[in-house]
Amino acid sequence: MNLLPGAPLVAPAGRVRPKLVLRPRKPLTKRELASVFARVKNRILAGGEPFGLFAIKHGRGRVFRLISVKHADYVAQLRVDKAQQHMIATYDGSADLGDVWDDLCSFDQGSAR
């Protein structure tokens, strides 16, 4: 790459910028776990239609969104590259809170070897 003043900024041939995905694998922090569980718990106890819980790349971190299965963003998030790295689960008003806690604790842990 030529860094001289006035030189065009061109990446070397053959180098492609990687897509933004949730890498490396990392479980939820204590703060994320408490925050996300509280939001999911409130939504489950309120009842209503099923919703998906997604971890979405946001700058250097990630955000967690609860999206109704009828919303267009739900379908869009399922199509994201590495979709299983983003979707945590889908829940409805009859979900067991113990199972939700287990899902959140095991998110992005990787497989045991």
Q: What percent of the chain has pLDDT over 70?
A: 71
Name the burial class of residue 86, with classes exposed (0-12), middle (13-18) and buried (19+) by CB atoms within 10 angstroms of its CB: buried
pLDDT in tens, 66-113: 999 999 989 888 887 666 678 899 999 899 999 999 999 998 876 554
Across the strands, what pairs with 56? 63
pLDDT at residue number 79: 83
Closest CA to 107 of 31, 53, 40, 41: 53
Q: How many Å apart are CA 38 and CA 43, to the nearest integer?
A: 9
CA dist., res. 107 & res. 25, Å (int): 9
Mean pLDDT of 35-56: 93
pLDDT at site 5: 56
Do residues 103 and 89 lie in contact, with contact meaning Cβ atoms separated by under 8 Å? Answer: yes
Q: What is the pLDDT of residues 2-32, one digit of tens each?
A: 555 555 555 556 666 656 555 667 889 999 9
Contacts of 46 (CB under 8 A, 6+ apart): 93
pLDDT attached to residue 6: 57
What is the pLDDT, as a whole number, of residue 33?
A: 95
